[in-house]
Amino acid sequence: MMKLLPSIASLLGTAAAAVDILLPLYIYPINDSQKPYDGTVDWQAAIAAIDAHPDLTFNVIINPNSGPPFASEAGIKIDWAQWIGQINNRPNTVTLGYISTLGTVQAQPQDIAIVKQGVDTYAAWDITNSWDGNSWDIHMDGIFFDEVNTAPAQLQYYTDVTNYAKSATGVVVLNPGVAVNPASSSLYTVADAILSLETCYTADPNAPQDRCPRNTYTPFTTASLSSLPTDVAQRVKSAVLVHDFYDDWEPYQPASVATLQADINAIVAQGVHSFYITQWGYNESFTREPASVGTVSNLLALAEGLASGVPL
């Protein structure tokens, strides 16, 4: 049975709604002896954080192989079943199926028929078996559309796919990663949230270039939050993602927990829909300190004065 979405529903009715976690849990949840990292570790850490903070809502982005169409949907489902199922079993979660629209990486976004097919794929997910034979509920509560181009010429496209996904699943988060073009501000009325600030924290030019290519981004500071909408109705539907939370890559020097706390406090003060800060990228990062999923969640709970927050 599909759970209620308390934070999304309350968000639409008040500007003072609680700030959620937007968790890009992209790593493949499998312990593969051929790979140097056990992906199930991050999932276990995420589930532990969800359980530790029942007064927070975790919007968990599920991203198998960059989204549908899948080469082997059956293989994806059996590999991910017990992990998605465990997330869905928690009442304080919202699962979002990842779909790339390619709108920011090519001249025109992905064929709308292919995108709608991806929505249909996720909408059909319900009960499936894992490798151990147990059955799990792997439904998606909504869709996370990535690589969104908010240029006016693409407004109708994104309005259409958003409405289609809402009718099929329920919740839609759009990710342009930058401020929405003012001429496309109507997207705020159709989407449940828009990720309008996604960037690296580090200013190190030697950071991994696949995540933080030099001279292409502005490193995150609390001043970056000035790019969020001034209109309160839009700001409470805005989301923030910050990755690569370190001062130096080589030799590696993570940023401090005091800085992490200050940044989270500043984000919460904006009254946004949701946020996350990750130590590295969206893989192999959720147990790395100080921006582990447990610490980030705890600092959010502290910032909001929630009972689950444990003083540092």
Task: Kindly report, residue by residue over 76-86, the tens digit of the pLDDT.
Answer: 999 999 999 99
Closest CA to 28 of 36, 44, 39: 39
Indicate whether 311 belongs to any domain: no
- Our measurement of the distance from residue 268's CA atom to the centroid of its chain's CA atoms, rounded to an integer in Å, reads 16
In DSSP terms, 100 is beta-bridged to 146
Indicate whether 308 belongs to any domain: no
Q: Which residue has the tokens 């959620």?
A: 20
Indicate whether 1 belongs to any domain: no
Indicate whether 281 belongs to any domain: yes
Per-chain mean pLDDT for the chain = 94
pLDDT tens track for 188-197 = 999 999 999 9
Q: Say yes or no to pLDDT of 50 above 90.
A: yes
What are the DSSP calls for 213-251, one per residue? -TTS-----GGGGGGS-SSHHHHTTEEEEEE--EEETTT
Indicate whether 310 belongs to any domain: no
CATH of the domain at 37: 3.20.20
- What pLDDT, on a 0 to 100 scale, did the predictor assign at position 15? 40
- Our measurement of the distance from residue 172's CA atom to the centroid of its chain's CA atoms, rounded to an integer in Å, reads 11
- Average confidence (pLDDT) over 257-276: 98
Question: Domain total for the chain?
Answer: 1
Indicate whether 195 belongs to any domain: yes
Indicate whether 284 belongs to any domain: yes
Of 13-22, 32-41, 130-139, which range is least confident? 13-22
Q: What is the pTM of this model?
A: 0.93
What are the distances in angstroms from CA 142 to CA 40, 49, 64, 220, 221? 23, 21, 15, 28, 30
Indicate whether 188 belongs to any domain: yes
- What pLDDT, on a 0 to 100 scale, did the predictor assign at position 17? 67
Helix axes 112-123, 155-168, angle to 10 degrees: 20
- Average confidence (pLDDT) over 147-162: 98
pLDDT tens track for 246-258 = 999 999 999 999 9
Instruction: Look at strands 58-62 and 93-100 and give their pairing.
Output: parallel
Domain residues for 54? 6-303
- Average confidence (pLDDT) over 192-205: 98
Where residue 13 falls among pLDDT bands split at 50, 70, 90?
A: very low
- Average confidence (pLDDT) over 188-207: 98
- What pLDDT, on a 0 to 100 scale, did the predictor assign at position 4? 40
- Written as one letter, the residue type at 243 is H
How far apart CA 45 and CA 48 sit, in angstroms, is: 5
